[in-house]
Each structure stands twice: as C-alpha cells, then as structure tokens.
Structure 1
Amino acid sequence: MVTPSTTTRFFWSLGVGWVAGIGLAMAQPAPAPGIAIPLNDLSAFTSPTANWRIAGSVHADLNKPNTITTDKGTGILVNVPLAKMPEDAKNPYKYDLVTTLQHGDVDLELDYMMASKSNSGVYLQGRYEIQMRDSWDIRTPNVHDNGAVYERWDEKRPDGQKGYEGHAARQNASRAPGLWQHLKISFQAPRFNTNGQKTENGRVIRIELNGVPIQEDVELTGPTRGSAFADEKATGPLRFQGDHGAVAFRNIRYVAYDKPRPELLNLKYAVYKGKYEKEPDYDKTAPESEGATKVLSTSINQIPNEFLIRYTGTLRVSEPGEYRFNLGVPGGGGMLKINKQSVVTPGGWNGSGKATLPKGDVPFELFYSKFVDWAQPALGLTVAGPGVREFVISEGAGGNGDDVDPIIVDAPNNTILRSFMDMPGVDSPGEKNTQGRTLRVVHAISVGSPEQVHYTYDLDKGALIQVWRGSFLDATPMWHDRGDGSSRPMGMVQRLGTPVLFLSKLASPQANWIADTTGSSYRPKGYVLDESDRPTFRYQSYGSSIEDKVRVLPEGKGIQREVTVANPAGDLYARLISGTSITPMENGMYLVDGQEYVRLDDLAGAKPTIRDANGRQELIVPVKGKVIYSILF
C-alpha cells in the first residue's frame, strides 16, 4: 500500500506557512536562486529537433495565434512549431525537448511566454505534466488550463471518464499571451525501497504562478497523460512539450534536494520549574525531571506553565555547508546552539539563524522557556541546508490557540470595499514613505467584478493604482482582532507605479509631474453607481469637473478607463502609465515592462508622448476633453 509521508502531509498542507498552529513561521517552498540551465546553446538538452532554438528576444502578437517571432542572441529557449511535424510511431514525443539533467526532489523556477491560443507544458521527471496554456480569457480554469497538474488517462475507462486525477489551478493567475509569466514548482519525487517497490507517491508540494499559489500538496499516483515513460523512478529529466504550440522560456533554474537530512541523536532533556526569562545556571539549578528521548517535543513535560526544557544531544550532518534553522516556542522564548555556536539567541516566540557545519556529529543544545499562561506549550524546529529541503525535525505537534480563519471577500457581483491598501514593491521592492513605512494608500477603493478582474482606485489622487485577475480580497488584516484597516488583493496583481495625480498641468511635455495636490485645486466628489453597481468616480481639478469610469473588458482581458474632463486647460496632461520600459507596438498598443499592454482607444485626436522621468519612462497625453485607454494583462 502506498501512503503519503506523514511529515510531508503535516508540513506542506499548511499553505500559509505555519506549522500546526505552534506559531513557527515556516519559509514557503519558494525556489532559491539555484543552478541555471544554460541557454547559450542547446547543449543542456538531448537530441533537440529543428523546432527548438535559442534567441535573444521574442515577441508574440495578441492577434496572431500560435506565432512567436525571434531575434538573434542567447538566453531564451523558444519552440517555433514547424510547418510539417510528421508523427513518429517509434518516438511519439520526438519534438519535445529533454534535459540532460536528471532530478529527484526539486524546486524549479522559470519564466515563460505563451503565444496566442498556444499550448505547452513542462513534465517533471518526464512523467508529470504541469500545463502551460494561453488561458487569459478563462474565468474558471479546468485541468486543461494554465497551471494545472494534468490529468492521468486510461483508455479502458468509459467515454467521459478516461481522464482522471487532474488538478485545475485554484484560480486563474495567467497573464496575456506575449507577456512573461513566472512559475515556481516544488516537487517531491516518489520513494522506493531497496527492492525497487514504490513506498510513497510523488507530490507536487506547491506551485506559484505569477506570485499566486495555485496548487498545494497534490499527490501523484502515477504518470500523467503524455508521459514519456510508463513506469516511475526516483529520478528523471525535465521535458518541455514541443508539438502543441509556440512557447518561450528563460531564466530556468533549479535546486536539487538529493542529500541526506541531518539527524538528532542521543537526545536528553531536563525540565526546570519556574519562570525563566533568561537562561539559568544549570549547575546550580535542580531539574524537576530528566531523561532520554528520541524526539524534540513538549510532551515529556507535565508542567502547564512557567517551566524551562533543556535539550542536549548530537546533530549528525552528512553534507557540510550552511544550514538554516527556524525555532518556534510559543508563550516564552528559546535558544539554539549547534556545534557550540549560537544559532538562535534567546528572544521572542519565533527565531531563526544560520550555521556553517562540518560533516559528522556536532553538539546540539536547545532550551524552551514558557511563562505566558494563556499560550499552549509547543515546540517546533525546522532545518534546511545544502541539498536538504526545509523539514520539521521536531515532533511539531501542539497549538497556541492563535490560529486565524482568513476573512475572504468574494465578488460574485460587482463589489466595492474601502480600506487602506499597502503597496509593496511599487517602483522598487519595499518602497517606503517619508515615515519609513511601506507605502500605504489611505483612501483606497477596491472594485471587484464577477469576471474576476478587479482594480483599486486612489481617491486622494484620482489614480488607478493596481489591477488584478483571480480572487478578490483578503480582509483578514482589516477585520481580525483589532485590525489595521487594510486589505490585500488575492490574485495575480499588476501594480501601476507609485500613485500620483492622473492629471497635471505641464509647461512642456518634459516638465516635472507634480508630486502632490498642491496648486491643483483637487477635490474628490465621491462616486455614483450605474444600474450594475459599477462606480464612476468624480472629482474637480484645475478648474475642471472630471468623471472617471473604469470597466472590465469583454472576456475579462483587462480594464478600460474613460476619463471625461469638462473644459480642460490647454496645458493639461494625463499620465497613463509608467514603467522601466515602454515599447510602442502596432495599432496604438504599448508594451510596459513585458508585464502589461496599454491600448489607446480614443484620445480625441491628441498625440501621446513617451518621456523619461526619474530613471523611468512615462506615457503621457494632452487632454482634449476625453481620454479612453485600456490595460490588458
């Protein structure tokens, strides 16, 4: 009988990164920088066919299905389907690309670009497909859409039931064709005993698409449809599908987890009664109880509060290198020493640290002091290191009664929610305001739609600050306990730069955009709802009355914004978008940072300008009374 690992179920089913309620903040299984698969040529792959090439840049047109054009250079792997790709009965997957790399447990990270209406996939170990598809216009993804763990297949089953055990992405976090998408996969290979019998199924531990978790803890009972192998093994190659559609890849990196885990040996414990806010002198303090144990756990202690547990023993290290430790000790503080080095110093409920360890047995010491009476006793310790995925080395059971049920706001109808909105990573990661805090929009209105395309509007500046696809809002920070007034987008978010006034008077197209509302006579006038409860925002600025209407495009492909300005001043401009790079395309389209398109729908005859400003680029346009443009993402 094949059963999933208890440790794997315990650890990875906790998608929010907390171990069984003990308050131990676990690192998500996001791939580390890892090892790059070189894309200077095709030497990292076996027997590449003519449909595969290396390029320096690529472009996929929204209106040309299954078409990617390339420019000379290196760094991008491209599949351009051939005009004729005859089937080969002896080698049905001859047009796929297979790595020389053989992997077991692995974290894989890459960027990919789909052509319009295209279809591809990456097979872990050549056997388990993660689907890649142009699913831009899909509201509810299925097992054939982007980010799915593809279905298994059995021809012996009745029609309509041949495909089984596929897992659709939990929400559609896809970008439009021609835009780079980012994929992170954490995979655990199947386990086999010394006789070659499978003892544990493989698992997709987690998949993130464009920063959004879309799969967690998916058990793989066998190869998915289209596997190159009928059997399962402990290792296998990566395989990129090449016979279905045009696709490009770049920045392919992996972290292999193929080294033995460290082990705790010869563990001894001593329990001391009392309130210890610092480590005692053990030679002068008699323990309440002591003994030997095989696991780190609080179960050896019968004192409910005000105690200290000290563990000593040996950590056996098979692979030398730098190891990372996370310690969770709710209701007090803890300390960790490895090889007589202080790794986690006495402090709060959660601590972390690193230690460079040699191969062999090294001394281990840990203490947990609990003195907060309402917290439940618990102890959690995780370890990660070279070739070792982070795992729970303690028993890890228990709870501190502080678990939080998330407060999720869905948008089955057009939905409006006012809140604070934090803007991490606007223009630069972790941008701070003048008080040194993360940039916060304090008069934000988020508008959700049943098409699952949403946006946030800044009432202080008449600015559209972000758009996203997928689920609507997580309001837990606002409504849990005392709350902080903020909510968070839940889907694939496209932030639109630092919030500034949408309209500004400029003496010339190169003049500085005003930093705040000073001198603009800006006055917000709220909003009105149409018959479908969609808002049109109103404000006054520079002596004009403005109406600002944002609507979701058909098939949820983005949003269209229509700004009407009554009697605009002759030197009034609108700032449509900013980015590191803004590239003109055909038919009034612009590509912004490879992450979104801006389409100019109606500028009342005005001509747009791309200008440089503070190390970035801005797309601005003189205002002739009406500005209509769309953001496709």
Structure 2
Amino acid sequence: MVNLSPKTHFRWLLSACFAIGTRLVLAQPAPLAGIPLPLNDLSAFAPSTPNWRIVGAVRADLNKANTLITDKGTGVLANIPLDKAPADSKNPYKYDLFTTLQHGDVDLELDYMMATTANSGVYLQGRYEIQLRDSWDVRTPNVHDNGAVYERWDEKRPDGQKGYEGHPARQNASRAPGLWQHMKISFQAPRFNANGQKTENARVIRIELNGVIIQEDVELTGPTRGSAFDNEKALGPIRFQGDHGAVALRNIRYVTYDKPRPELINLKYAVYKGKYEKEPNYDKTAPESEGATTVLSASVSRIPNEFLIRYTGTLRVSEPGEYQFNLGVPGGGGQLKINKQSVIAPGEWNARGKATLPKGDLPFELLYAKFVDWAQPALGLTVAGPGIREYAISDGVGSTGEEVDPIVVEASTNTMLRSFMDVPGEKNSQGRTLRVTHAVSVGSPEQIHYTYDLDKGALVQVWRGSFLDATPMWHERGDGSSRPTGMVQRLGTPVLFLSKLASPQANWMADTTGSSYHPKGYVLDDSDRPTFRYQSYGASVDDKIRVLSEGKGIQREVSVMNPASDLYARLGSGTTITALENNLYLIDGQTYIKIDNVSGAKPTIRDTNGRQELIVPVKGKLTYSILF
C-alpha cells in the first residue's frame, strides 16, 4: 500500500469491475448555477415586435396547430405569432428576439414549450441555429427536428445538395407539445488572431435534451441557414426565432467563459522507482530520472509499474476565485497541492477537489504513485474556474487503462428484459436510491418503452428513444441492473395500482400488506407484447399496455374481474395535477394522462401528503393513456 503522507494511506480499487467507469471526463465540471436572464419584462432584449411578450403561465392545445394559451404574469417569455404579419424583405429577422447580452464561449440552459406542429430555434451568437420543434411523433429525427444543429445553405450548389453540414439529434428525446422541455447547450465561439482572421471554427461541444446527450463535438464551419449575420465574430447575441411558430421559454440561464486560463510554468519532474509505503524524503532519495518539461504527462516515466512521479512548478493565475480540479491517475493514487494547500488529498484513481486561489504565481505540486500492474499509466488533470470552462492542463484526460464497450439492448422488435431497475430521486427505507427488484422493461420498434414492477402491478417509467444499457447487468460480475438510454419520464415511487379506500380521502396503500396481491406472470400476444396478470383484493386483473399510434405514448387497459365496491385505481401523482379539456390531465408540466374509458366513473384529483393524486373508482374495466 502506498502512503503519500506519514499518516494517510491511499485507498484504491482492487476489482476491475469497480474500476470501470472511472475515466476522467473533460468538459464536465460541477454544474454552475448560471446567471438568469430576467423575464420580468423585455429589458434583457433589443426592442422587439408585439409577438413577443412576458406572461405568467402558458399551455398548448393538442388539437389545434401552432396555438399557445397564456395567462397574465411574469417569468415566461412567449412568442405568439401575429395574424397576417407581413414579411419585411429589408429586415427578414424582424420578428426574432435578440438579447442585449453578447457572448463568446457560453453554456446556455433553458426550459421551452412547443405548440402543436410549431417550429422555432435558438441561434448562438445570432448565427448558429439549434432547432426547437414539435417532433413528438418522429422516430428518426433529421436536421429539421428538435435538437438538431441546423444545416448550412448554398444556393450555388446543385439541387438536393444546397443544404449541407446539418447534424440531426442522435435520437428523438423530445416531449409532447405543451410539456416543458429542458435543454443544455455548451458552445465554443470561433477564434480569431490579432488581424481578425479566423483561426478556429466554432463548435457545439455538447447538447443535452431532457437528460439525454443528443450532440457532441460538432464543428461549425460557418453560420447555419437563416443566420442574422453573414460574417463570424468572437461575440454575438442569443437570438430566438419568432416568425415560424408559437414557443414559450423560461428559466433561461447562462455562464460565459471569457477569462484567461491558468498556466503551468517552470515545471519539473522527478521519477522514483519502487512501491513506496510513505512519501519519500526527497533530499535523501535519488530519483530514477528528472528534468524540466512543459506538460503534465505519465510518459516521463519509462517504468511500467511501481513508480512515483513528483511534479513541481508554478501555477500562474490571472483570475482570482474558486477553481475545481479533476485528477485521473489509473493504477494507483494521486495528490495535488497548490499554494502549499492540499486541493486533492491522497485518494483514488479519479478524484475532484476545489480551492479558492488568489491572482499571482502559486507553488504547484502533483504526485502520481502507480502500483496496480494491469492498468496502463496515464495522468490527467482538468481545471475549471471563474469564467473558465473546464480544460485539460495535462497531455490527456486519463483513463483506467481498460475501455469497456457498452452492452446496449436495442428494440428493433418487441423486446422484454428482466432486471433490477433503479429509480433516481426515489429513496428506500434506508435512504438509498430505490431499486425495483422484479422489473420487466418492455421495448418496442416504435421507440416507446416502459418498465413494469411485477411486485406491485405498477408502471415505473416510460421513455422515448433508445432502449436499454445492460452494461451494469452483464459486464464482469455485474450488479443485475439495467438503465434506460432514452428520454425518461419516471412515474414516482411504485405503489399498488389498485387499492381499497374507505373514502376518496383515505390514504393509499404503501405496500401489498392486506391486499392479497399475487403476481401471475404475463401472457404474450402474437406480436410478443405482454399482458400482465395478478390477483388483488380477491379480483383477477389483466393489465395490458400498448404503444399508441405515431409513438405518442402508451395506452393501458386494466380489466378487473369482480372488483370490490370500494376499489380505486391510481392513475398518476405529482406536485400539481391540472384538469384540461377532453378528459386530459396535466401532471407537473411533464406528462399528460388521458381518460379513455372508465365505465362512467368520475376521476378525482385529491391532495395527500403535500402532493396530488389522480384516482378513479374501478367498475370492471378502465382504459387511459400516458402521453409524454
């Protein structure tokens, strides 16, 4: 065991299965809160046309194209296209909205809501468009769909080739119109020399839509079609498209990166051979090799295993403030000191630390001890700070020395997989992340999937896009779990779908005690789609879940033979449930529940334990849809 201080031992991971996934990831610092774009009025924007307004609430009509219904108030920016608004050939972007903010490198985060069939976009620097669109029913997105980096355009190119360099989203991670969607964009502006000549193209580093990565490292050789400017600059405004369709936005936040990076100078290294039980006395221990260098790297050691590299030098800091450091040292452990203060204590292969640093030249020391023979030597250190996006200050970002190909389960046909399924955000009685131990995940070629809890007859989650990542289940020893790889809508803590209530206000059953619940497995139809069966409160239950046409969600048909007179079904729960038109209910702005047939029973929205539930008496058969 290695010891880099008299009393502190390294803790390292002896099992390869635990080491997997410790790769140091660039451009993933701890999330910053960001600066909010105020939406109390339109003062954060250049003067605009009347289609843009500040409102307090907004919703869409699923049956009416390009329509948003708004309420008075503040906090939401809405574009309501003007009826018969004339085009302006001298100002084709007349109806768009430009921020007074001028940005270069930026992280932009926002919520947005699309009207049915609506089309809009957000332009970085007013030049590079990220598509915002109602792509609810799209299976394979193209450059016109939600989350795409829009194409460039050249009228001189042949027909069919005028549009080029567009980048569709990797998968459709979109929500339904009228539901709030969340997008995170990391953008790197083009670079220019002192003469104003472009030296590096702009890049979309990453886009995350509703929790799914849909774009990574997209190079932008020039403005996309519809750019408000023909040239490229180091700075430009955020621009929201206003002439195509109705869209609402809220919670717009940004972080700009315009400060100089810290620099390592006067860097020296010394390599010591051996498996050290404690940090050596450097005055009395001769290094195997030493010298000056300009970059942090494990390659200064020619010893494959059992060595210690000590780097010393100066970290020149131009911008004072709090900095975050991410150190990757596979096969051993590392330590980082800056300004004679411990930033990363002796620890594991991949560790983070932070320090508040003053402006100036600060003493720098980094140690890397390698002692696990099967891991390849590597050294990665990244830095992020005030106005500084995370970057590698070493020659690489480190790795475990072993890359693992993900084990992905596709659903090109109707597909089922039994596994454990974790439910992030929900806790078990020990305070740990809730794990469903008898989960069945059902995938479809329509790219609409769900997880069912056989222990409770409950829907756990629904999602759109790719099916499952079974790497944690099947790699090496595994832990038995799989995880969705698309846009997931979780449905809360799984509880019994059916419960007897003495009154509509009585508490819902927390578990199966007293319910006589007995799972009876499932039967498959001719298309390999399951109908789950169980007994509860003396009734036999068939639970059939099917994908809706055009991939808009799922429909659930529950048949209860001989139901008790006081039996209820719990269709949904959330912080807020709002009744809309046409038997439609909106849950937390994230999901629709549509009542299709409940045999004449009347659904009830009730308050319970600070939340709301949508319940309905059971009269034999009930059918409802989850739209998301």
Normalising by structure 2, what TM-score? 0.95
Distance in 2 between residues matched to 1:277 and 1:417, nearest whole Å: 48
Q: What is the match of residue 278 of structure 1?
A: 278
In structure 1, what is the equivalent of residue 342 of structure 2?
Answer: 342
How far apart, in 2, do the equivalents of 1:410 and 1:442 lie?
A: 22
In the TM superposition, what is the alpha-carbon distance from 1:298 to its structure 2 partner?
1.3
Q: Map 1:100-179; keep pairs closer than 5 Å.
A: 100-179=100-179
Residue 45 of structure 1: SS of its match in structure 2?
coil
SS at match of 2:481: coil
Q: Is the 8 A contact 2:25 2:397 kept in 1?
A: no
Structure 2 partner of 1:529: 524
In the alignment, the residues of structure 2 paired with residue 174 and residue 29 of structure 1 have an alpha-carbon distance, to the nearest angstrom, of 25
2:370 aligned with 1:370, yes or no?
A: yes
Q: CA deviation at 1:69?
A: 1.5
Deviation at residue 436 of structure 1 after TM alignment:
3.3
- Deviation at 1:305? 1.0
Match in the other structure for 1:316: 316
* Pairwise CA distance, 1:288: 1.6
**Superposed CA offset, 1:446-504 (max 9, x none):** 00011100000000000011000000001111011111110000111000110001011
Q: Distance in 2 between matches of 1:81 and 1:624?
A: 46
Give the CA deviation at 1:272: 1.0
* Map of 2:618 onto structure 1: 623
Taking the aligned partners of 1:127 and 1:276, their CA distance within structure 2 comes to 56
What CA distance in whole angstroms lies between the structure 1 residues aligned with 2:407 and 2:511? 34
Report the CA distance between 1:587 and its aligned residue.
1.1
Q: 1:457 aligns with which of 438, 452, 458?
A: 452
TM-superposed CA distance for 1:278, in Å, is 3.4
Mapped to 2, the partners of 1:404 and 1:171 lie a distance apart of 22
| More off after superposition, 142-151 vs 400-409 | 400-409
Give the match for residue 8 of structure 2. Answer: none
Identify if the C-alpha distance between structure 1 residues 25 and 166 changes in structure 2 by more than 3 Å, giving closer, same or farther.
Answer: closer
Unaligned runs of 5+ in 2: 1-19
The 8 Å contact of residues 22 and 380 in structure 1, kept in 2 or not, is answered as no
Q: Within 1, Cα distance between the matches of 2:124 and 2:351?
A: 34
Partner of 1:193: 193
In the alignment, is residue 575 of structure 1 matched against residue 586 of structure 2? no
- The Cα of 1:310 is off from its aligned counterpart by 0.5
Equivalent position of 2:16 in the other structure: none
2:594 paired residue number = 599
Post-superposition offset of 1:437: 2.3
Distance 1:402 1:328, change over 3 A: same
Q: Distance in 1 between matches of 2:420 and 2:49?
A: 53
Task: Tell me if structure 1 keeps the 8 A contact 2:172–2:464.
Answer: yes
Conservation of the 8 A alpha-carbon contact between 1:189 and 1:201: yes
Contact 2:26–2:392 under 8 Å retained in 1:
no
**4+ residue segments displaced more than 6 Å:** none
Distance 2:351 2:587 in 1: 40
Name the counterpart of 1:551: 546
Of 600-609 and 276-285, more deviation after overlay is shown by 276-285
Give the deviation of 1:71 after TM superposition. Answer: 1.1
**For residues 27 and 575 of structure 2, what CA distance do their matches in structure 1 show?**
30
Map 1:332-481 onto structure 2 (within 5 A). Answer: 332-396=332-396, 400-425=400-425, 431-481=426-476
Structure 2 counterpart of 1:89: 89
1:25 Cα deviation after fit? 4.6
2:545 is the alignment partner of 1:587? no
Shift of 1:586: 0.8
Distance 1:506 1:467 in 2: 27
CA-CA distance at 1:29 after TM superposition = 6.3
Residue 514 and residue 564 in structure 1: after superposition, are their counterparts in 2 closer, same or farther (change >3 A)? same
Q: Distance in 1 between matches of 2:290 and 2:375?
A: 23
Aligned equivalents of 2:386, 2:270: Cα separation in 1: 32
Aligned-pair distance for 1:615? 1.3
Alpha-carbon distance in structure 1 between the residues aligned to 2:23 and 2:77: 43
C-alpha distance in 2, partners of 1:116/1:41? 26
1:367 aligned partner, one-letter code: L
Cα drift, residue 158 of structure 1: 1.4
| Residue 284 of structure 1: how far off its partner (Å) | 2.7
Q: Is the 8 A contact 2:570 2:614 kept in 1?
A: yes
Distance, in Å, in 2 between the alignment partners of 1:109 and 1:295 is 34
Paired residues of 1:412 and 1:450 also in contact (CA < 8 A): yes
Instruction: Tell me how far 1:280 sits from its aligned partner.
Output: 2.3
What is the CA deviation profile of residues 148-167 of structure 1, one whole-angstrom value per residue up to 9, with x for unaligned ones?
A: 00000011111111111100
Q: CA 1:162–1:190 in structure 2 vs 1: closer, same or farther (change >3 Å)? A: same
Residue pair 1:54, 1:77 contacting (<8 A) in 2 also: yes
> What is the aligned partner in structure 1 of residue 222 from structure 2?
222
Q: Secondary structure at the match of 1:442?
A: strand
Describe the superposition over 1:593-626 as per-residue Cα deviations: whole angstroms up to 9, x where unpaired.
Answer: 0001000000011111111112111111111001
CA distance in 1, matches of 2:279, 2:536: 63
Would you say the 8 A contact 2:380–2:398 is kept in 1? no
Letter in 2 for 1:545: S
- 2:267–2:311 contact (8 Å) kept in structure 1: yes
Q: Give the SS at the match of 1:46.
A: coil
RMSD of the TM alignment (CA)? 1.3
Measure the CA separation in 2 of the matches of 1:74 and 1:527: 50
Residue by residue, what CA displacement relative to the aligned partner does 1:538-584 show, whole Å, maximum 9, x if unpaired?
Answer: 00111111000000011000000000000001011111111000001
- Distance across 2 between alignment mates of 1:277 and 1:598: 62
- 8 A Cα contact 2:27 2:389, kept in partner: no
Relative to structure 1, the CA distance from residue 499 to residue 135 in structure 2 (aligned partners, 3 Å threshold; closer, same or farther) is: same
Give CA deviations for 1:270-322 in whole Å, capped at 9, x if unaligned.
11111124322222322122111111011111111111110100001111100
> Against the structure 1 CA distance between its residues 441 and 40, is the aligned structure 2 distance closer, same or farther, given a 3 Å change threshold?
same
SS of the residue corresponding to residue 477 of structure 1 reads: helix
Q: Aligned letter for 1:507?
A: A
Residue type at the aligned position of 2:482: S
Does the 8 A contact of 1:22 with 1:398 survive in 2?
Answer: no
Mapped partners of 2:401, 2:284: distance in 1 = 35
Partner in structure 2 of residue 14 of structure 1: none
Cα distance in 1 for partners of 2:507, 2:186 equals 46
Matched to 1:249, the amino acid is L
Change in Cα spacing, 1:69 to 1:309, as seen in structure 2 (3 Å) is: same
Tell whether the 8 Å contact from 1:127 to 1:228 is kept in structure 2 after alignment. Answer: yes
> Do 1:31 and 1:254's aligned partners in 2 also have CA atoms closer than 8 Å?
no
- CA-to-aligned-CA distance 1:386-411 (integer Å, 9 cap, x gap): 00000000011765432110011111
- Would the alpha carbon gap of residues 397 and 596 (structure 1) be closer, same or farther in structure 2, given more than 3 Å must change? closer
How many residue pairs are counted as aligned between the two chains?
A: 609
Counterpart CA distance in 1 for 2:221 and 2:104 is 16
Q: Is the 8 A contact 2:34 2:255 kept in 1?
A: yes
Alignment TM-score, normalising by the size of structure 1: 0.95
Residues 256-267 of structure 1 mapped to structure 2, 5 A cutoff: 256-267=256-267
**Residue in 2 that maps onto 1:11:** none
Work out the CA distance in 1 between the residues paired with 2:105 and 2:436.
Answer: 42
1:503 paired with 2:498, answer yes
Take 1:524 and 1:322, find their aligned partners in 2: how far apart are those partners? Answer: 55
Conserved 8 A contact 2:377-2:401:
no
User: SS at the partner of 1:282?
Assistant: coil
Give, as a single letter, the amino acid of the residue that structure 2 aligns with 1:469.
R
| Cα contact 1:30–1:107 (8 A) shared by 2 | no
The amino acid of 2:206's aligned partner reads: R
Q: Could you tell me how far apart the structure 2 residues matched to 1:26 and 1:506 are?
A: 53
Distance 1:307 1:276, change over 3 A: same
In structure 1, the residue corresponding to 2:451 is in which secondary structure?
Answer: strand
Amino acid at match of 1:584: A
Residues 277 and 126 (structure 1), Cα distance of their counterparts in 2 relative to 1, 3 Å cut: farther
Q: Distance in 2 between the 1:419 and 1:361 partners?
A: 54
